[in-house]
C-alpha cells in the first residue's frame, strides 16, 4: 500500500484565475485557490486596482462573489475610481455579487490598552463572506490595519493568525502591502507568511514611466520568473507574458499578396507566406509606408482584418499620404477592416508599448499587421533588440503576417539601423535611392526570402496615382539604367530595332529577287535540256530507221543476185516480192536514203 501511494502522482495545486490578460499565463493558471496572496509595491503601483479587478472578474466571469475590506478608501471612492474601467460596482453590490466594507482606523482616536487582536475584523469579515457566499477576499492595506499597533510581537502574531484564518475558511485572498525599506513590505513578515507574493514596480527611466510585475514566490507551483511589463489605463490591467514567447509558433503554406503585383512576381510562389514577417528597409522617401499601406489594403480587400501601427504620422495624415498613391484606406477604416493605432515611441517605455500592442491584438484579432517604422524606437541597441524580438514573437505566436519598415541612412546594407531585426525576418526587401544623370530614381530588390526562390534583379519602381508599379530592369554597360537614362536607351533600342527590321526586310527582298532569277534560269536550262533530249531521241530513231533500210537494201541486192548470205546460190526472188519488202521497211527522210544509195 505504501509503495502504491508513493507512486501515485501528486494532484496539481488548485488555482483561481484572476481574469487579467497575461497575468494568469505568468501564474500558470491563476492565484493559489483557498490561500492568501500578497501584492506589494510602492504607492501608485496599482495594488488596489489589481485587487478590485480580481474581485470584479470573479463576480462577472467566474461566478465567484467577493468581499473587499478597505482601511483607506470608502466604498463610494472605490466605486468612482473603477467606474472609468467599465466596472459597475453598485450593480454588483445590489446583485449580492460584491461587498465593500470600509473600516476606518485613526490612530489619534485609538488608545492601546490591554491585548490587541483582530477578533473584531474576523467577525466582521466572516459576516460579509457568509452574507453573499464569497469565494474571494481583498484586504487593502495591511499598513492601515496595523498602523496604530506599536508592539511588533503582537503584530507578527496577528499577521500569522490573519493568514491562517483566511486559509481555514478556504478563501482565495489578496492582501496588499506597502513596500518597505530594503524589504518587500514595511514589516518584512508578510512575504514569509503568504503562499504567493507578487511585487509591483512603477519605474521611471529617462523620464518615461514603466510598470513591471514580478512573481517573487509561489508555493507549490512553477511560475514565470522574469519581470513582466503591465499596463494600467482606462481599459484595465494588461500584463505582457514574455515567458510565453519562443520558437514554437506554427507555420502556414498559404501564400498571400504583398499588394504589389510586381513584387509578388519577384517571389517564387507569387507572394509571401501567411504568418511570415517581412522587413522593408530603405532611405527616407523611398516609399516604405506606401508599400506597407499597399499590403494593408490588399489584406482588407481579401476581407481580412489589419492593424496599422504608425509611430510617425497621425491617422488623417497617413490616409492622405497613401491616398496620393491611389491607396484608399478610409473606406476600410470605416467598415472596421482596418484599425490604425498612432502613438509617439517616446510616449511610453518599451514594455508599455508591448503591453498596449498585446491588448489591441487580443481584442481586435487581426490577420495582418504593419509596423511603421521600427527604427523610431530609441535606446541602447541591446534593449531595442530585445523589445523588437519580443514584439516579433508576440506576432508570430498569433500567426499574424507582419510588415516591418526600417529607416536606413544610406544604400549600404551594412549600415542598416534595424537593431539586428533583419536576421530574424523571413523576407527582406531593400529599397534603393539611385541618383544618375541629374535625377533621383527608386530601385527595389529582395535580399532574402526563407523557404522560397526569389529574383536577384534590381527593379526600378514608380509610385504612381494607381499604386506602386515595377518596371522591367534595364542593364547597361555601367549597370542598371533608371529614369530618363532608361527611357533614352529604350528609345535608342527601338530605333536600332527598327533599323534592323528594315535591313532584314531589304535583305529578304534581295534574296527573293535573286531566287526568282535563279529559278528562271533553272527553268530555261530545264527547257534546253528537254529540247536536247528530244533531239537526241529523234536522232536515235532516225539512225534506227537507217539501219533497217540498209538491211532491207542488202537483202534486196542479195536476192537480185541470187546468192544466200552463206555464199550459196539462191533462187531468184520475184520483183513483186522485193517491192513488198521495201514497202514494209521503215522510211526515213528521202534525202538520207538517196545519199545512202
Give 384-409 pLDDT, tens digit per residue.
888 888 888 889 988 999 999 988 87
For residues 275 and 401, the answer to whether their CB atoms sit within 8 Å is yes
Q: Percentage of the chain surpassing pLDDT 90?
A: 31
Residue 11, pLDDT score: 59
Residue 149, pLDDT score: 59
Q: How many CB atoms lie within 10 A of CB 124?
A: 15
- C-alpha 215/C-alpha 15 separation (Å) is 15
Q: Pick the residue with more confidence: 176 or 588?
A: 176
The string of DSSP codes covering 121-167 is HHHHHHHHHHHHT-SEEEEE-HHHHHTT---HHHHHHHHHHHHHHHH
Least confident range from 64-73, 186-195, 505-514, 582-591: namely 582-591
Residues 9-238, CATH architecture = 3-Layer(aba) Sandwich (3.40)
Residue 299, pLDDT score: 95
- C-alpha 26/C-alpha 356 separation (Å) is 17
Please state, in angstroms and as integers, the Cα–Cα distance from residue 480 to each residue in 96, 284, 371, 458, following that order: 76, 21, 31, 8
Mean pLDDT of 272-281: 93
Mean pLDDT of 421-446: 83
Strand locations in 257-375 (E): 272-273, 277-282, 306-310, 338-342, 368-372
Q: Pick the residue with more confidence: 547 or 309?
A: 309
Q: Tell me which residue of 322, 358, 19, 314 sits closest to 174, measured CA to CA.
A: 19
For residues 286 and 257, the answer to whether their CB atoms sit within 8 Å is no
Q: Pick the residue with more confidence: 437 or 468?
A: 468
Catalytic residues: 72, 312
427-436 and 277-282 as β-strands: parallel, antiparallel, unpaired? parallel
What number of helices (H) and strands (E) belong to the chain? 18, 24
Q: What are phi and psi of 146, to 5 degrees?
A: -105, 15
* CA atoms within 13 A of residue 445's CA, in its CB half-sphere: 14
- Does the pLDDT of residue 471 top 90, yes or no? no
Q: Tell me which residue of 431, 448, 427 sits closest to 440, measured CA to CA.
A: 431
List of residues 6+ apart from 379 with CB closer than 8 A? 206, 350, 387
Q: Tell me the per-residue pLDDT of 11-36, one tens digit each, with 9 for 90 and over.
A: 578 999 999 988 998 999 999 999 99
* DSSP element (H, E) containing 397: helix 381-397
368-372 and 401-407 as β-strands: parallel, antiparallel, unpaired? parallel
3-state secondary structure string, 435-493?
Answer: EECCEEEEEEEEEEECCCCECCCCEEEEEECCEEEECCCEEECCEEECHHHHHHHHHHH
Q: Pick the residue with more confidence: 101 or 147?
A: 101
Q: Give the pLDDT band (50/70/90) at residue 5.
A: very low
Least confident range from 37-46, 451-460, 489-498: namely 489-498
Q: Does domain 255-479 have CATH number 3.40.50.300?
A: yes
Domain segments of the chain: what residues?
A: 9-238, 255-479, 488-596
- C-alpha 501/C-alpha 380 separation (Å) is 64
Please state, in angstroms and as integers, the Cα–Cα distance from residue 249 to each residue in 240, 246, 369, 394, following that order: 17, 7, 17, 10
Q: Tell me which residue of 235, 292, 263 sits closest to 406, measured CA to CA.
A: 292
Global pTM value: 0.68
Residue 1, pLDDT score: 40
Q: Pick the residue with more confidence: 161 or 316?
A: 316
196-205 and 36-41 as β-strands: parallel, antiparallel, unpaired? parallel
List of residues 6+ apart from 151 with CB closer than 8 A? 116
Q: Give the pLDDT band (50/70/90) at residue 156.
A: confident
- Does the pLDDT of residue 56 top 90, yes or no? yes
- C-alpha 474/C-alpha 457 separation (Å) is 10
Residue 338, pLDDT score: 95
- Does the pLDDT of residue 128 top 60, yes or no? yes
CA quadruple 573, 577, 581, 587: dihedral, nearest 10 = 120
List of residues 6+ apart from 286 with CB closer than 8 A? 431, 432, 433, 442
- C-alpha 236/C-alpha 277 separation (Å) is 30
Q: Helix 315-323 crosses helix 288-301 at what angle (to 10 degrees)?
A: 90
The three cell numbers locating residue 455:
529574383
For residues 244 and 228, the answer to whether their CB atoms sit within 8 Å is no
Q: Tell me the per-residue pLDDT of 191-228, one tens digit each, with 9 for 90 and over.
A: 777 889 999 988 777 767 778 899 999 998 888 888 88
Residue 333, pLDDT score: 95
**Is it true that 9-238 and 255-479 share their CATH fold?**
yes
- Does the pLDDT of residue 585 top 70, yes or no? no
Residue 8, pLDDT score: 45
Least confident range from 91-105, 315-329, 368-382, 557-571: namely 557-571
Average pLDDT, the chain: 82
Q: Give the pLDDT band (50/70/90) at residue 566.
A: low
Q: Tell me which residue of 451, 464, 413 sits closest to 260, measured CA to CA.
A: 464
Q: Give the pLDDT band (50/70/90) at residue 473.
A: low
Residue 413, pLDDT score: 52
Residue 259, pLDDT score: 93
Q: Pick the residue with more confidence: 167 or 472?
A: 167
Residue 432, pLDDT score: 85
Q: Give the pLDDT band (50/70/90) at residue 327.
A: very high
Q: Percentage of the chain surpassing pLDDT 70?
A: 81
Amino acid at each position: 500500500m505504501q509503495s502504491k501511494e508513493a507512486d501515485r502522482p501528486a494532484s496539481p495545486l488548485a488555482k483561481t484565475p484572476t481574469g487579467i490578460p497575461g497575468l494568469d499565463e505568468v501564474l500558470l493558471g491563476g492565484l493559489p485557490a483557498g490561500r492568501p496572496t500578497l501584492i506589494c509595491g510602492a504607492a501608485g503601483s496599482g495594488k488596489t486596482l489589481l485587487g478590485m479587478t480580481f474581485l470584479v472578474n470573479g463576480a462577472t466571469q467566474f461566478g465567484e462573489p467577493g468581499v473587499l475590506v478597505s482601511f483607506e478608501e470608502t466604498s463610494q471612492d472605490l466605486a468612482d475610481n473603477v467606474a472609468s474601467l467599465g466596472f459597475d460596482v453598485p450593480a454588483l453590490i445590489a446583485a449580492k455579487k460584491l461587498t465593500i466594507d470600509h473600516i476606518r482606523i485613526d490612530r489619534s482616536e485609538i488608545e492601546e490598552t490591554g491585548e490587541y487582536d483582530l477578533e473584531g475584523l474576523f467577525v466582521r469579515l466572516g459576516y460579509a463572506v457568509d452574507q453573499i457566499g464569497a469565494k474571494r477576499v481583498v484586504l487593502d492595506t495591511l499598513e492601515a490595519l496595523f498602523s496604530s499597533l506599536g508592539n511588533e510581537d503582537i503584530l507578527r502574531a496577528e499577521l500569522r493568525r490573519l493568514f491562517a484564518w483566511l486559509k481555514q475558511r478556504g478563501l482565495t485572498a489578496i492582501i496588499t502591502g506597502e513596500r518597505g525599506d530594503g524589504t518587500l513590505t514595511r514589516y518584512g513578515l508578510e512575504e514569509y507568511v503568504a503562499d504567493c507574493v507578487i511585487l509591483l514596480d512603477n519605474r521611471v527611466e529617462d523620464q518615461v514611466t514603466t510598470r513591471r510585475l514580478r512573481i517573487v514566490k509561489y508555493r507549490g507551483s512553477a511560475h514565470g520568473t522574469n519581470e513582466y511589463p503591465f499596463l494600467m489605463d482606462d481599459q484595465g490591467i494588461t500584463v505582457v507574458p514574455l515567458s510565453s514567447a519562443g520558437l514554437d509558433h506554427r507555420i502556414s503554406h498559404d501564400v498571400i499578396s504583398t499588394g504589389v503585383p510586381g513584387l509578388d512576381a519577384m517571389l517564387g510562389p507569387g507572394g509571401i507566406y501567411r504568418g511570415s514577417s517581412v522587413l522593408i528597409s530603405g532611405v527616407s522617401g523611398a516609399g516604405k509606408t506606401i508599400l506597407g499601406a499597399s499590403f494593408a489594403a490588399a489584406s482588407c480587400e481579401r476581407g481580412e482584418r489589419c492593424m496599422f501601427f504608425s509611430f510617425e504620422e497621425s491617422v488623417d495624415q497617413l490616409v492622405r499620404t497613401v491616398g496620393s498613391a491611389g491607396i484608399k484606406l478610409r473606406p476600410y477604416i470605416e467598415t472596421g477592416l482596418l484599425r490604425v493605432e498612432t502613438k509617439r515611441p517616446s510616449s511610453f517605455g518599451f514594455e508599455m508599448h508591448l503591453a498596449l500592442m498585446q491588448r489591441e491584438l487580443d481584442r481586435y484579432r487581426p490577420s495582418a499587421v504593419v509596423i511603421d517604422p521600427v527604427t523610431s524606437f530609441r535606446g541602447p541597441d541591446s534593449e531595442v533588440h530585445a523589445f523588437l524580438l519580443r514584439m516579433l514573437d508576440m506576432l508570430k505566436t498569433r500567426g499574424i503576417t507582419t510588415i516591418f519598415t526600417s529607416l536606413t541612412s544610406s544604400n549600404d546594407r551594412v549600415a542598416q539601423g534595424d537593431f539586428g531585426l533583419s536576421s530574424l525576418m523571413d523576407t527582406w526587401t531593400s529599397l534603393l535611392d539611385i541618383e544618375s544623370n541629374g535625377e533621383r530614381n527608386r530601385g527595389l530588390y529582395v535580399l532574402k526570402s526563407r523557404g522560397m526562390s526569389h529574383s536577384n534583379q534590381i527593379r526600378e519602381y514608380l509610385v504612381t496615382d494607381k499604386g506602386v508599379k515595377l518596371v522591367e530592369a534595364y542593364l547597361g554597360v555601367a549597370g542598371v539604367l533608371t529614369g530618363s537614362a532608361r527611357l533614352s536607351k529604350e528609345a535608342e533600342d527601338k530605333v536600332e530595332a527598327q533599323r534592323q527590321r528594315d535591313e532584314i526586310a531589304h535583305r529578304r527582298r534581295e534574296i527573293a529577287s535573286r531566287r526568282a532569277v535563279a529559278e528562271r534560269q533553272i527553268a530555261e536550262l530545264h527547257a534546253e535540256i528537254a529540247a536536247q533530249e528530244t533531239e537526241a531521241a529523234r536522232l536515235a530513231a532516225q539512225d534506227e530507221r537507217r539501219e533497217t533500210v540498209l538491211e532491207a537494201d542488202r537483202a534486196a541486192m542479195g536476192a537480185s543476185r541470187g546468192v544466200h548470205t552463206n555464199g550459196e546460190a539462191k533462187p531468184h526472188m520475184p520483183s513483186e516480192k522485193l517491192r513488198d519488202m521495201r514497202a514494209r521497211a521503215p522510211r526515213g527522210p528521202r534525202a538520207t536514203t538517196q545519199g545512202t544509195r
